[in-house]
Structure 1
Amino acid sequence: MKVLFVQLCALLCLFSSNVSGFAPSSRLAPSQRVIGTTSTSFGTEEHSCRPAATTSLFGKKAARAAGNERKNKTVRVKKPKDDVIEVEGTVIESMPNAMFRCTIDGAPDTQDPVLATISGKIRKNFVKILVGDSVTIELSPYDLTRGRITFRKR
């Protein structure tokens, strides 16, 4: 009974590998092909259609090394924006909702202070901005009294 079952399994395995011209073992390298090994021990047969296990990493180590190399770069290139005016300023007043009044360095005293908010990167990294800090402000070309704080100088 066991012999009949093993032979039936072997036929099914061979049939499933040749259905509609699909033969998975034909795509394997000759060293990886396993065509139906039989080993006899006490009158039983074992049949296997699976290929031998491979240990190839397919370039994973090289890809990881390239990723680590990319992460370790210390030079950051900031993309220039076309539609903003970037100026240096000093924080003169802290207001609620992460708003600040800032004066622009080099501007005449008659110019009103700029109302600036914190950019997303500074907010995400929890950079604390205090009164008297020197900051970089991006001004909107549509309203020169509003801006965004993009960098706090140490």
Structure 2
Amino acid sequence: MAKEEYLEFEGKIDEALPDGRFRVMLENGHSIIAYTAGRMRKSRIRSLAGDRVTVEMTPYDLTKGRIVFRHKDERPGTVPLHRPAPRRR
């Protein structure tokens, strides 16, 4: 399936489920099960309950999706945690 055929929606993560999946409430009111995209996993981008995300879905199954982007936190006064990278052996 070509990239152009995917549908993109924005939503908010309601809860974390087992196996790296999340329950996401879309802006249109529908609730879906979504997993983190490989690029986000590779870049170690963590998603938590309450995060705003962009989800890609196939038009054939509108109950499942892939989280492709986590939006920046817009709350004032929050400082991102800086953790040193793990040491390579």
2:62 is matched with: 144
1:52 is matched with: none
Q: Is 1:130 matched with 2:52?
A: no
Q: CA deviation at 1:97?
A: 1.2
2:15 alignment partner, one of 73, 77, 93: 93
* Structure 2 SS opposite 1:82: helix
Percent identity, please: 39
Relative to the length of structure 2, the TM-score reads 0.75
Q: Which has the higher contact order (CA 8 A, sep 6+)?
A: 2
CA distance in 2, matches of 1:126, 1:101: 20
CA distance in 2, matches of 1:141, 1:97: 24
The amino acid that maps onto 1:114 is I
Query: What do you get for the CA RMSD once the two structures are aligned?
Result: 1.3
Q: CA deviation at 1:145?
A: 0.5
CA distance in 1, matches of 2:61, 2:33: 10
Aligned residue pairs total 71
CA deviations on 1:8-37 (whole Å, 9 max, x unpaired) are xxxxxxxxxxxxxxxxxxxxxxxxxxxxxx
2:84 is matched with: none
The amino acid that maps onto 1:102 is V
- Runs of at least 5 residues in structure 2 that lack an aligned partner in the other structure: 73-89
1:120 is matched with: 38
The amino acid that maps onto 1:151 is F
The amino acid that maps onto 1:149 is I
Moved over 2 A (4+): none
CA deviations on 1:32-72 (whole Å, 9 max, x unpaired) are xxxxxxxxxxxxxxxxxxxxxxxxxxxxxxxxxxxxxxxxx
Q: CA deviation at 1:84?
A: 0.4
Relative to the length of structure 1, the TM-score reads 0.44
